[in-house]
Structure formats: C-alpha cells, structure tokens
Amino acid sequence: MRDFLTTGDWSRAELEGLIDSALRFKRGDEQSRPLAGRSVALVFFNPSLRTRASMQVGIFELGGGAVVLEPGGTSWTLEHRDGVVMDGDKTEHVAEFVRVLGRYCAGIGVRTFAALKNWEEERTDPVLAAFARYSDVPVINLESAMHHPCQSTADMMTIREKLGMGRKRVLMTWAWHPKPLPMAVPNSFALASAQMGHDLVIAHPPGYELDEELIAEIERQARAQGGSLTLTNEVAEAFDGAEVVYAKSWGSKKFYGATDEDVKARAAYRDSWIVNEDKMRRTREAVFMHCLPVRRNVIVTDAVIDSARSVVIDEAENRLHAQKAVMAKLFGK
Ligand code: CP
C-alpha cells in the first residue's frame, strides 16, 4: 500500500511516470476505470474549489464515487493527538474515523491546512501524519500544513506541457499579500522542481525563508538531478532569464503565530514584490503560473495574469489529470 503525502516519497522516475499518465488522461488515450464500483473519501477541514471539484470529477471519471466530509460540519469534530483525554470540543478520534472510512472506501484524501499558530508542531504535519498512521487504505494529501503534492505534480506537468522535457530556469517568487499564508504550495513546488532537475531560483524578502530542513532536501535533490538552487532577496534580478515565473505568498516563520507582526513586517514589500509587466520583460518570455486562488493586482497585475504567457487556467485543469494519474497508480490493480 502506498500513500501520496509528498512528492519527496516518490522517485523522479515515478513522478515522470505520473506526468506521462496524466498527459495520456488529458489526451483521452487512457480510459482505465480503476475505481469502478469503489469509493474514495474526501475529507476537507478547509475550503477548496479546485481540489474538491477536480477530485470529485476525477473519481467519477475513474468509475468511482466520492464521499465528501467536512469535520465539524458534515461529520463530527476530530481529535488527532494520541493519548489525550477527549473531554473538550472534539467528538471523534482520527483512529476510529479513518479505520471506519477504510471499511467503506478504497482510499482517503485529506485537506488540513496549517493553523499558523505553532511552527515547531505544524512543520511535522501532525493531522496528515495521524491520518496516514491509522489508515489501512492509501491516503492522498490534498494540502497539508507542509505539502501540496497534487498541486506540484500538476505544476510539473504544466511546465512539461508548455516548455517540453528537460531542465528549465524556474523562478518561484514570494509576493505581497495582506496576511500570512501557509507554506505548503511553495514547499511542494520547490521540492518537485528540484526533483525534476530544474534550475530553481527562490526569491523572497529577508525573514521569509522556508524551512531549513526542507531547503537542505531541495538542494540535495537539485544536485542529484543535475539542477540547481539559488536563493535571493533581489526580486527584480531574480526574473532575469526565467522561463517559468511561479508566484506565491507565504508567512514568515519568524512571526509564526503573531499575525499582526508579520502584517507590519511585510508592509514594506507591498509595491516591490508584485508580479508585473516590467518584471516579466526581464524573463525569456516566461510562462506565468499560480496555484489559484489569486488576488489580482496584489500578487500579480491584471496585465500579466490576462496575458498570453499566463497558464493559470491550464494549470488548474491539469489538477484533474494529475490526480487521476495518482489515483490510477494508487488504486489500479
Ligand atoms: N490550488 C488549490 O489547491 O485550489 P483550492 O484551494 O481551490 O483547492
């Protein structure tokens, strides 16, 4: 039994295989229905458009049925910590929740964002880890505190689709946003880019460094796959020669749990860290990518996101094909 928790658990060859499969699904060359007569549970602690809709459609197209649950809404509130006395507001433990679902379903997808309260705890992905620990069926990470592997697989597919195979110069740029956001998307995009052997540049203001252990792993992967990693605080120069521009905002570890302090610190970067036409002109006609949802004229100007170089809608479509490939791999005979 295999889970899909982070691309880091999968080899480059396996990721390339998933992208090949996703492209076959997209072309209509792959017609397998590995979920015929079976169901997949989708557990959403947080809101979603793309992930929820593309998983439901993907499960249907693979012949199965989706059971969508929202703990605390359409299902009981959930405790994930082991050994706690459950005399508070949590009604059911993950230990029973996932094992019961495993008796009905071929697999479980779960979305559980970082609460942005306690960095040392959240960097260990405790809720996702509890799901994986107790589940007897494969678990798919639909975005956790630290990773969003379905997004990054679709992102790597989109880069291959738009620019072809091989090593590309990929810029992931931090962007100003009115409030701190989780790091799952930038973590997973950077990790998958390194696994695919791209030349990755990560640009962010001082104080917005990603997790040190993860950066070390990204550097190791980049070296092993023949790519490179460059970290910079120089936003405009970072665009020079880029073939892919991936914009994303995230919160500072330094101010984790202290939103007001982060909001004050990031105010200085409001005008300088938006993706605009001036910056895009420094690239080698780069494609513009964002996982969505995106705040227009905050993260990226209308002119860039509405330009011919913007691939954000194709990128969102590719979520469907990439997740069908993941499910076909996990649930196929
Ligand atoms: N990109 C992404 O995961 O979108 P949703 O939050 O709408 O699912």
Taking the C-alpha atoms of residue 59 and residue 117, their distance in angstroms, rounded to an integer, is 34
Taking the C-alpha atoms of residue 287 and residue 144, their distance in angstroms, rounded to an integer, is 27
Ligand 1 pocket test: which of 45, 50, 250 has the largest number of ligand atoms within 8 Å of its C-beta? 50
pLDDT tens by residue, 258-303: 999 999 999 999 999 999 999 999 999 999 999 999 999 999 999 9
What are the pLDDT tens digits along the chain (333 aa)? 899 999 999 999 999 999 999 999 999 999 889 999 999 999 999 999 999 999 999 999 999 999 999 999 999 999 999 999 999 999 999 999 999 999 999 999 999 999 999 999 999 999 999 999 999 999 999 999 999 999 999 999 999 999 999 999 999 999 999 999 999 999 999 999 999 999 999 999 999 999 999 999 999 999 999 999 999 999 999 999 999 999 999 999 999 999 999 999 999 999 999 999 999 999 999 999 999 999 999 999 999 999 999 999 999 999 999 999 999 999 997
| 188 in contact with ligand 1, CB cutoff 6 A | no
Q: What percent of the chain has pLDDT over 70?
A: 100
Query: What pLDDT sits at residue 191?
Result: 98
| 48 in contact with ligand 1, CB cutoff 6 A | yes
Strand 169-174 relative to strand 199-203, pairing = parallel
| 62 in contact with ligand 1, CB cutoff 6 A | no
Q: By the 8 A CB rule, do 2 and 326 touch? A: no
Ligand 1 pocket test: which of 51, 111, 318 has the largest number of ligand atoms within 8 Å of its C-beta? 51
Query: What pLDDT sits at residue 230?
Result: 98
Query: What pLDDT sits at residue 277?
Result: 98
Domain spans in the chain, listed from the N-terminal domain onward: 7-147+319-331, 151-315
Structure letter (DSSP) for residue 28: T
Query: What pLDDT sits at residue 168?
Result: 98
Query: What pLDDT sits at residue 54?
Result: 99
* Helix (H), strand (E), coil (C) string for 128-179: HHHHHHHCCCCEEECCCCCCCHHHHHHHHHHHHHHHCCCCCEEEEEECCCCC
Common-topology check for domains 7-147+319-331 and 151-315 = yes
Q: By the 8 A CB rule, do 198 and 167 touch? A: yes
Query: What pLDDT sits at residue 333?
Result: 74
Residue identified by tokens 């012949």 is 63
Query: What pLDDT sits at residue 157?
Result: 98
**b (16+ CB within 10 A) / e for 25-64:** bbeeebeeebbeebbbbbbbbeebebbbebbbebbebbeb
Query: What pLDDT sits at residue 214?
Result: 98
Counting atoms of ligand 1 from 1, which one is nearest the CA of 54? 8
Question: 289: CA distance to ligand 1 center in Å?
Answer: 14
The rounded Cα 9 to chain-centroid distance in angstroms is 14
Counting atoms of ligand 1 from 1, which one is nearest the CA of 150? 3
* Helix (H), strand (E), coil (C) string for 263-300: HHHHHHHCCCCCECHHHHCCCCCCEEECCCCCCECCCE
Taking the C-alpha atoms of residue 186 and residue 189, their distance in angstroms, rounded to an integer, is 5
The rounded Cα 257 to chain-centroid distance in angstroms is 22
Q: Kindly list the distances between the CA atom of residue 64 and the CA atoms of 85, 222, 251, 310, 326, in Å, as whole numbers in the listed order.
A: 38, 37, 38, 33, 14
The set of residues, in sequence order, having a beta carbon less than 8 Å from that of 51 and lying 6+ positions away, is: 111, 142, 143, 150, 151, 319
The closest residue, in CA terms, to atom 6 on ligand 1 is 48
Structure tokens at 319: 């979520």
Q: By the 8 A CB rule, do 76 and 91 touch? A: yes
| 54 in contact with ligand 1, CB cutoff 6 A | no
Architecture of the domain defined by 7-147+319-331: 3-Layer(aba) Sandwich (3.40)
Superfamily of domain 151-315: Aspartate/ornithine carbamoyltransferase (3.40.50.1370)
Residue 123's H or E segment, with its range, is none
